[in-house]
Amino acid sequence: MFKFVARGINFLLGKSLQNRHIIVSSSLEYLQRKRDLNKNYFDYIRLATLELISEEIRKKKLTGSVAELGVYKGKFARYINLYFKKRKLYLFDTFEGFDERDVNTEKKEGFSSGSQNFSDTSVESVLSLMPFPNNCIPVKGFFPESAANIKDEFIFVSLDADLYEPIYEGLKFFYPLLVPGGYIFVHDFNNDNYPGARKAVEKFCAEENISFVPIPDSAGSAIICK
């Protein structure tokens, strides 16, 4: 039924929706299960890709933890927690916004002004959003210093710290700890407001001689698979 409605919408309004960067499409029907997406979350491709990847990891029976660097209010971390419900989820953030050291590099290299304010959050408010808070390990502080005592293996990592330095440091820290078959999402890869994200991915992947897949989510993520 929905397919016919979607086709009708595309036929009548497709061109004008596309001009607003809105595409109507059926998706993930083959999973044949009820989806659980918050109606306020407006990046369907990012979430659907995360869900599919969690399925692959489950089928391969990979063992390890999951993590996000750059949690802010926990909007995406919530879904990591949901789709990897039995895994330990590390939540890395200053929970006070960007660090001056990263912003200085950002400005010096001409990437961005680093002026966005992400300080209106807290560990408590993030945990209250998580469906399985008991599996969450908040790691508050400046990354990579905050990760000095973390000894674990990872099956999935989301890097969403916007700026060049933490993303590059995140790749250097997590890639060696990623199990074969594991994935790293790097948000903002195709976001012109944060060109340092692309620079960090390109530099790290060239150094390690590894590849990535760019996906068409709203800020253009790159996905690395080991």
Ligand X SMILES: C[S@@+](CC[C@H](N)C(=O)[O-])C[C@H]1O[C@@H](n2cnc3c(N)ncnc32)[C@H](O)[C@@H]1O
Q: How far is the CB of 143 from ligand X (least distance, A)?
A: 3
| Site membership for ligand X, residue 162 (CB under 6 A) | yes
Beta strands in the chain (DSSP E): 65-69, 89-93, 136-140, 154-159, 178-186, 213-214, 222-225
Is 83 one of the binding residues for ligand X (CB under 6 A)?
no
Instruction: Return the residue of 47, 155, 161, 201 that touches ligand X, per CB under 6 A.
Output: 161
Q: Are strands 178-186 and 154-159 parallel, antiparallel or unpaired?
A: parallel
State which residue, 92 or 204, has the beta carbon closest to ligand X: 92
Among 10, 28, 88, 97, binds ligand X (CB under 6 A): 97
Which is it for strands 136-140 and 89-93: parallel, antiparallel or unpaired? parallel
The residue from 147, 163, 223, 224 that contacts ligand X (CB under 6 A) is 163
Q: Residue 142: which of 165, 122, 125 has the closest Cα?
A: 165
Whether the CB-CB separation of 170 and 143 falls below 8 Å is answered with: yes
Give the number of C-alpha atoms closer than 13 A to the C-alpha of residue 124, restricted to the C-beta side: 0
Minimum CB–partner distance for residue 164 and ligand X (Å): 10
Name which of 57 and 143 has its Cβ closer to ligand X: 143
CB of 21 to ligand X, least distance (A): 19
Residues that bind ligand X (CB under 6 A): 70-73, 75-76, 92-94, 97-99, 102, 118, 142-143, 160-163, 166
